[in-house]
Amino acid sequence: MRAYRLITEDDTSDFCHRVTEALSKGWELHGSPAYAYDESSGKMRCAQAVIKEAEGEYSRDVKLGAL
């Protein structure tokens, strides 16, 4: 199965740590990061898609962060 996640976070070092953690667990970057202003919180937000090949069949019960 090919798994997909979209990591989002406020524009802080926490975002970079979350992406780095995913990369260290075998996820790969998919496309460019996105950066946008969240008017409701008054903060900039970041997003990065990541993908990973994983064993097994897809199910909505799969915990993507645990892959």
**66 within a domain of the structure (yes/no):** no
**67 within a domain of the structure (yes/no):** no
CA 10 → CA 16, 31, 35, 41, 52, distances in Å? Answer: 10, 19, 9, 9, 24
**43 within a domain of the structure (yes/no):** yes
Both structure tokens of 39: 């008017």
Query: For 22-64, what is each residue's pLDDT tens digit?
Result: 999 999 999 999 999 999 999 999 999 999 999 989 989 988 8
**44 within a domain of the structure (yes/no):** yes
Query: For 9-23, what is each residue's pLDDT tens digit?
Result: 999 999 999 999 999
**34 within a domain of the structure (yes/no):** yes
Global pTM?
0.87
Structural domain harbouring 34: 2-56
